[in-house]
Amino acid sequence: MQCSLSCFQCVAHAEAYIDFGEDELIESDVVENVENNVRSMIAAIQEHTNDEKKGQRLRNGIRIAIIGKPNVGKSSLLNRLCK
């Protein structure tokens, strides 16, 4: 399964839809495209982590920082990722 959007593009499209979806002329299939691409990314990550030797860092986890200005959705993003 191939992703047509990068992770950053998915976030940007989702944010644009959240911020401007009702007021602006945002394409109606943005959410569906983002969802499909995120599912593709998840499948690719799962395929990579199921390999016996590759993906050690993904299996053990990685440290990341979600940085940005106040009130831009960092906590919302983290909560969404953690479900």
pLDDT digits (tens, 9 = 90+) for 20-79: 766 666 676 777 888 888 888 888 888 777 776 666 766 677 778 888 899 898 888 888
In a domain, 18, yes or no: yes
In a domain, 13, yes or no: yes
In a domain, 55, yes or no: yes
Q: Comparing C-alpha atoms, which of 12, 55, 8 is closest to residue 30?
A: 12
In a domain, 1, yes or no: no
**Domain enclosing residue 72, as ranges:** 7-82
Q: What is the pTM of this model?
A: 0.49
Residue whose token pair is 């979806």: 21
In a domain, 74, yes or no: yes
In a domain, 2, yes or no: no
Torsion-angle region of residue 37: left (phi > 0), alpha (psi -120 to 50) or beta?
Answer: alpha
Residue whose token pair is 């960092």: 74
Give the dihedral sign, CA 62/67/71/72: negative
Contact 17, 25 (CB under 8 A): no
Residue 2: pLDDT over 60 = no
Domain count, the chain: 1
